[in-house]
Amino acid sequence: MIPAATRYERASDLDHALELLAEPDAKVIAGGQSLIPVMKLRIARPSVVVDISRLELRGVEVRDDELHIGPLTTWSELLDSEMLDRPALAAIAECARGIGDLQVRNLGTIGGSVVHADPASDMPAVLLALGARLELRSPGGERTVTVADVLLGPFMTALAPQELVTDVVVPLPAKGSGSAYAAVEHPASGFALAGAAALTTPASETVALTGVGSTPFVLPEGDQGEAIAAAEIFGDRFASDEYRRELATVVAQRALVTARERAKEDA
């Protein structure tokens, strides 16, 4: 399969990338692990692909009680980061390890995954449970949005066409916190039929689900079983809504149990 004809432009810096994105039907390419497959199917036919992969937007660091993940950080780089080696953030590596396969993890990026907004992608659930936000930049300036506000629907985000993610920011949970990710995957595609991320802190518990709705979402506080029973959950030829609801209950419970265990280790 060969993508439709397109131009390729390599952005030299952020301003150059934003300038290139002024063209109608321009598409950003970073790792390309979601975009290239849909270009080959000709579902995406960009006029120009703007390669941002060489911009300095990668790396993981902790600054001022917040974890900063450069949007171009690949899953492999994320897995190599010692910054994530703490119970409160354990869900991030646990989730990254299960994404795609080794080859996909070598190229696929965290920023690309979030703004591709696949309703079954794993990491957005983890970022939602951890209360993460994105720093965005456009020709008009900078703004901050929560991951929850970025995800509007299947493959739809609140980003403007000429807007890029410059930072993925996770507030460090309080001492005594733990997080976890659990999923039941479709055996062929590896995408989540239902996935759940949980964060347990001394003050609260948060669970976010993926693969079961039009976007990953945070369950309302309160009884988790009731929340899942009331949630809008879809079915398809791989799994009925009833089965997905059951799976959601199971993975949410698994993630919560592990997150609670990890919280005890976070002394």
* Contact flag: residue 68 with other proteins (CB under 8 A): no
Q: Considering beta carbons, is residue 39 or 219 the nearer one to other proteins?
A: 39
- Determine the 3-state secondary structure of 34 from DSSP: coil
Applying CB under 8 A, among 26, 44, 53, 251 the residue interacting with other proteins is 53
Instruction: Please enumerate in sequence order all residues whose Cβ is within 8 A of that of 87, keeping only pairs 6 or more positions apart, or say none.
Output: 177, 178, 179, 262, 263, 265, 266
* Contact flag: residue 264 with other proteins (CB under 8 A): no
* Contact flag: residue 103 with other proteins (CB under 8 A): yes
* Contact flag: residue 162 with other proteins (CB under 8 A): no
Contact 198, 95 (CB under 8 A): no
* Contact flag: residue 49 with other proteins (CB under 8 A): yes
Applying CB under 8 A, among 107, 148, 172, 174 the residue interacting with other proteins is 107
What DSSP character marks residue 82?
G
> 222: alpha, beta or left, given left = phi > 0 and alpha = psi -120 to 50?
left
Judged by CB under 8 A, which stretch of 15-23, 30-38, 130-138, 145-153 contacts other proteins? 30-38
Applying CB under 8 A, among 10, 68, 245, 254 the residue interacting with other proteins is 10
* Contact flag: residue 207 with other proteins (CB under 8 A): no
Residue type, 81: S
User: CB of residue 152 vs other proteins: minimum separation in angstroms?
Assistant: 26
How remote is the C-alpha of 229 from its chain's centroid?
Answer: 24
DSSP string for 139-192: TTEEEEEEHHHHEEETTEES--TT-EEEEEEEEPPPTT-EEEEEEEE-TTT--E
User: CB of residue 25 vs other proteins: minimum separation in angstroms?
Assistant: 13
Residues at the site binding other proteins, with contacts judged by CB under 8 A: 1-8, 10, 29, 32-33, 36-37, 39-40, 48-49, 51, 53, 76, 97, 100-104, 106-107, 188, 190
